[in-house]
Structure 1
Amino acid sequence: MNRSAAAQQHGPRRTLLAWVASVLLVVAAPTAHSAPLYPSPDPDPFYAQPADLSGTQPGDVLEVRPMPALAMFPDTTVTAVKFRSNNSAGEPIAATTTVLQPNNQQPDAPVLSYQHIINGLGVRCSVSKVLYTSDPDLMVREAVFWNVALRRGWTMVLPDHLGPNFAYGAAKLGGQVTLDSIRAIRQVEQLRVANSRVAMAGYSGGGMATAWAAALQPEYAPEVEIAGAAMGGVPMNLVSMLEGLGFGTHPVFGLALAAGIGLEREYPQRFPISDQMNAKGLAARASIADACTNDILASGAGRGILDFAATTSMVQDPQARAVVEENSLELYDGAPVMPVFEWHSPIDGLIPVDAITNTVHRWCAAGTPVVTESTPTPDHLTAAVLGLPAALDWLDARLRGETAPSTC
């Protein structure tokens, strides 16, 4: 299809950048090429990408490392596992996960894969690093919940689900890494979880990785049996989420900018937003290339796409639009075959609730047992806390093998 025909099919280009509204999909003829800016390499060789992964399969264990004990998780053993996964193009990558186990863990006791919120672009933002930092920007906020699970004798699995390039915004990648993490830990003999019942959970960005893992499992990892997935505050549609930010200023524009940078890292040929940035945009990109939540938020607070775009001309790029659509779960045809517990705020200021409702309805129609709950708060982060007790009870029942209820 030539450019003219594509333009007629897709309409006026009101979105390469309208689509990632705050992510700078403004297309013009750039004067110079700006390559994707990847995170600084981790000096620890454990996190390095092997030179050749061609002889491995997704979930194969590459390395296992005992980790120091953590004061916030008393009487708990910590193990890091490096394993083979796939990126969004189906190419092999090495990923990592951290396993917390109570010292009195019984063989084949329940396993909970918890996808932590990772709003970050650099190595220090990974869960495996966050556990060992005192930086208030990075500290684990779900530690109380994790300790409850550990005291129940569960093994906690915490994947670094953004992958080695910290591709923030690449939601489908997060689902694949999560499933391969579960594949991997079953193979580590000293963890004694080869026959454990496994469930998954996560909120917001972690909920997005959880939801994608649940939806991808029938096709990507059909042999991985999962008892259920609990997910809250999930951005089910990145297209509508980013369009909602528009071209005006927004207090969390930094997250949208970070998502654009992350998607470019994962799809460098199809999502070249750096080519569309002006000098301020490139400077902002450089300032957050290795940043975590607070620095990312500060970089874009009160700003918008027009502050960082090289031009205001709007021309739709079908490849860029396809990238955002591919990472929008509402638009994915597949549905989980495992039971699902979903919760969200009825008036969430950060994510489109309609996309959650539409996705849940489609899953119900496909036969997925879904329990959905609305938390009595308009605040995205408060909803996380309010929904966790019910999610924990639901997970406990799934890990005990009880039949899953449904509110479909």
Structure 2
Amino acid sequence: MQGRATRRTGIGSVLTAILMMLAPLLLPAPATAAAVPDPFFSYTGTKPLADYAPGAILKTRTIPYSLAGIPLPVQVKQIVFRTTNQRGRAAAGVTSVLEPITGQTSKVIGYQSFYDSLNPEDGPSRAIAGGTNPGGLAAHFETAMMTQFLLQGYAIVIADTQGPTADFAAGPEYGMVTLDSMRAALKATGTGIAPGAKAGLIGYSGGAIATNWASVIAPSYAPDINKRLVGAAEGGVLVRPSANLKYVDGSLVWAGVMPMAVIGVSRGFGIDLTPYLSDYGKQVVAKLDKAPITQVLGQYPGLTWKKLVKPAYVDPASIPIFVSTVDKLNLGTRPNPTIPMFIGQGTLGEAEGTLASKAGLGSGDGVMLAGDVRSLARKYCAAGVRVVHHEYPLSHFTSVPVWLPQATSWLTARFGATQAPTNCSTIKAGNPLTPLKAA
């Protein structure tokens, strides 16, 4: 027992030290020669992927957790598995299982990363294997955020949720990858996960996209996983992308997310929006084709949709394919989860240069809309879901230190016998979650 305690303390010290190392690493870095992709992450088998069931294990390896080539005392089982992309086609996903330091566990955390990148090489599994792409280094900060689960003996499953082509903002794909990664992790041998283990989901921002969509589609797409889920905790939640684009339009920090979303959604759904873009818009989209969010935030202050598109399309609703696509991403029109939910959302977006009220959308955290999140929470409550919803008078970034301890404490408790709490009766009315209508 003393050896395990010493090991837990050592791991905690190592991972805490990561936090001190990350600040300079997460800043936008000068362009460097592209690293050679690790062949492990690609499927090269002769059997068609479509012949495998979702979640089927294609190959595995066990490696030490690596921080830019420096091995840490955490063993990781990496798994390539069959999943489904946004167009319903079979694809090869990747996940990393941080093995429990206590030997075996019946408790699993599915942690969904906010790596938010248009480059597949920025996925957290690449960083965990020693990758040095600046856009992927957020994974180490996030692992440090989850240290308490490791120290308590949980296994942690961290998938590259955006799929093999980095389909940024394509929410349903995030959800399918998340659920299939859990299928693979629970089936794999040598992970330290006990048969019949229960699982909880957690994620913030881009990780909340994966967490919420996985929760929503689990009853239909992965009922085998849904019955093992004890709850899902999320913060900084994207509910209705058509409204979020209006909210960040012209903002100081978050405006660059607009062209990122155009690229990611176009890629994921297999549509072409370039005929609607202005010359400047085409230049921006070309430049950001494989950009991580760290190279976008604050780089396009004041950028507007009007500047990105041709004059005839200044109203996004005038582009039929855009309307039909973003409406597929509106969580307000999707089924409800069947598991307890913890939802946190900031309301002080002015701190990150986004106006508090625009087009009747109300306050947000700078990129996510508080009114939309309230309405989603109320929708779930009306369906009988036990929801805890909190708002913070903080921005998107500054909400994390408040949200994290609340979310992790709530999720840890879901593995016990007590019923999930709820504050549904106190959630204020929010925005209508109506789909975008074609002009």
TM-score by length of 2: 0.77
Q: Which one-letter code corresponds to 2:93 in the other structure? A: A
Q: Percent identity?
A: 28
Q: 2:58 is matched with which residue: 52, 57, 62?
A: 62
Aligned partner of 2:342 in structure 1 is: 341
Range with greater deviation from structure 2 (311-320 or 175-184): 311-320
Q: CA deviation at 1:136?
A: 5.8
Q: CA deviation at 1:298?
A: 5.5
Q: Which one-letter code corresponds to 2:50 in the other structure? A: S
SS of residue in 2 equivalent to 1:284: helix
Distance 1:45 1:136 in 2: 20
Residues 1:250 and 1:370: Cα distance change in structure 2 (over 3 Å)? same
Aligned partner of 1:221 in structure 2 is: 222
Q: Which one-letter code corresponds to 1:343 in the other structure? A: G
Per-residue CA deviations over 1:34-73 (Å, capped at 9, x if unaligned) read xxxxxx9973222224562121111111111222333699
Residues 1:349 and 1:43: Cα distance change in structure 2 (over 3 Å)? closer
Distance 1:151 1:68 in 2: 17
SS of residue in 1 equivalent to 2:297: helix
Distance 2:277 2:177 in 1: 30
Q: CA deviation at 1:174?
A: 0.5
| Equivalent residues of 1:233, 1:343 under 8 A apart | yes
Residues 1:42 and 1:240: Cα distance change in structure 2 (over 3 Å)? farther
Per-residue CA deviations over 1:175-222 (Å, capped at 9, x if unaligned) read 111011111111101114232110000001101110111111111111
Pairing 1:237–2:234 present: no
1:252-267 equivalences under 5 Å are 252-267=254-269
SS of residue in 2 equivalent to 1:235: coil
Distance 1:105 1:388 in 2: 26
Q: CA deviation at 1:144?
A: 2.8
Residues 1:49 and 1:274: Cα distance change in structure 2 (over 3 Å)? farther
Residues 1:73 and 1:111: Cα distance change in structure 2 (over 3 Å)? farther
| Equivalent residues of 2:64, 2:76 under 8 A apart | yes
| Equivalent residues of 1:97, 1:157 under 8 A apart | yes
Q: CA deviation at 1:155?
A: 0.5
| Equivalent residues of 2:248, 2:367 under 8 A apart | no
Pairing 1:393–2:387 present: no
Distance 2:369 2:251 in 1: 18
| Equivalent residues of 1:276, 1:311 under 8 A apart | no
Range with greater deviation from structure 2 (357-366 or 87-96): 87-96
Aligned partner of 2:30 in structure 1 is: none
> What is the Cα-based RMSD across aligned positions, in Å?
2.3
User: Whose RCO is larger (CA < 8 A, sep 6+)?
Assistant: 1
Which consecutive residues of structure 2, in runs of 5 or more, have no partner in the other structure? Answer: 1-33, 349-364, 425-439
SS of residue in 2 equivalent to 1:97: strand
Aligned partner of 2:422 in structure 1 is: 406
| Equivalent residues of 2:63, 2:76 under 8 A apart | yes
Q: CA deviation at 1:283?
A: 2.5
Aligned partner of 1:43 in structure 2 is: 37
Aligned partner of 2:91 in structure 1 is: 93
Q: 1:109 is matched with which residue: 84, 90, 106?
A: 106
SS of residue in 2 equivalent to 1:263: helix
Range with greater deviation from structure 2 (339-348 or 289-298): 289-298
Distance 2:291 2:298 in 1: 10
| Equivalent residues of 1:110, 1:399 under 8 A apart | yes
| Equivalent residues of 2:114, 2:205 under 8 A apart | yes
Distance 1:46 1:274 in 2: 33
Aligned partner of 2:370 in structure 1 is: 353
| Equivalent residues of 1:125, 1:291 under 8 A apart | no
Range with greater deviation from structure 2 (348-357 or 46-55): 46-55
| Equivalent residues of 1:252, 1:302 under 8 A apart | no
Distance 1:275 1:306 in 2: 14
Pairing 1:374–2:372 present: no
Residues 1:101 and 1:90: Cα distance change in structure 2 (over 3 Å)? same
Distance 2:299 2:406 in 1: 36
Aligned partner of 1:23 in structure 2 is: none
Distance 1:103 1:251 in 2: 39
Distance 2:292 2:395 in 1: 21
How many positions carry a matched residue from both structures? Answer: 363
Q: Which one-letter code corresponds to 2:161 in the other structure? A: H
Distance 2:269 2:35 in 1: 19
Range with greater deviation from structure 2 (359-368 or 306-315): 306-315
SS of residue in 2 equivalent to 1:290: coil
Q: Which one-letter code corresponds to 2:55 in the other structure? A: G
Distance 2:239 2:36 in 1: 31
Q: 2:125 is matched with which residue: 128, 153, 160?
A: 128
Which consecutive residues of structure 1, in runs of 5 or more, have no partner in the other structure? Answer: 1-39
Aligned partner of 1:76 in structure 2 is: 74
Q: Which one-letter code corresponds to 1:111 in the other structure? A: V
Q: CA deviation at 1:285?
A: 2.0
Q: Which one-letter code corresponds to 1:58 in the other structure? A: P
1:189-228 equivalences under 5 Å are 189-193=189-193, 194-224=195-225, 225-228=228-231
Distance 2:373 2:241 in 1: 11
SS of residue in 2 equivalent to 1:195: strand
| Equivalent residues of 1:203, 1:231 under 8 A apart | yes
| Equivalent residues of 1:119, 1:293 under 8 A apart | yes
Aligned partner of 2:434 in structure 1 is: none
Residues 1:93 and 1:141: Cα distance change in structure 2 (over 3 Å)? same
Q: CA deviation at 1:114?
A: 0.4
Distance 2:415 2:230 in 1: 6
SS of residue in 2 equivalent to 1:227: strand
